[in-house]
Each structure stands twice: as C-alpha cells, then as structure tokens.
C-alpha cells in the first residue's frame, strides 16, 4: 500500500466536550507556568470545512493575559487536528 494513503481519524465531539478538553489543557499548562493562569477560550463553533481541514474554530480568548496568545493558538491548532465538531 502506498505511503500517501495514510490518514488520521479525528475524535468526534460536541462543542462543550471540545471546550472542556481545551480548558483542561490550559489548566495543566497554567499549573506549570503562572503566566497562563486565567487563560480561557471561547466555545467552539462550526465553520465550513475545506478539504481535510477542521470544521470548527473559536472566536477568541477572553481575558487573555499578555504573552499567552501564541501558546493558546498552538493549543487550539493541535485540538483542531484532533477533533471533529458534531452537533
């Protein structure tokens, strides 16, 4: 079988389940690094999927402390690779 046929199955989850996972990741990060305390993400919402891309996004990071944006985007990008949003 050619190597080009490999793919990853995404976990299917509701917006609330994805949000809880994201917040858990943020909480674990904030336990190790104080600057992340108080970081939050908004609830995921569906978007039109392009090819094999994610079918959801978030609208922002409410109350984001200075210096945390890049790390929050990394967490979000990783979760978007792992999860497919379902109703």
Phi, psi for residue 12 in degrees, rounded to 5:
-95, 130
pLDDT of res. 7: 64
Residue 2 has pLDDT above 60, yes or no: no
What is the residue-averaged pLDDT of the chain? 90
pTM: 0.85
> Tokens 């917040």, residue?
23
- DSSP of 7-32, one letter per residue? --PPEEE-HHHHHHHHHHHHHHHHHH
């Amino acid at each position: 079988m050619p190597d080009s046929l490999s793919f990853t199955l995404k976990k299917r989850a509701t917006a609330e389940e994805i949000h809880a996972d994201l917040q858990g990741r943020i909480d674990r990060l904030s336990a190790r690094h104080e600057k992340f305390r108080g970081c939050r993400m908004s609830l995921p919402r569906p978007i039109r999927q392009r090819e094999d891309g994610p079918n959801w996004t978030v609208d922002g990071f409410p109350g984001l402390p200075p210096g945390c944006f890049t790390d929050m985007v990394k967490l979000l990008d990783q979760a978007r690779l792992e999860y497919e949003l379902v109703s």
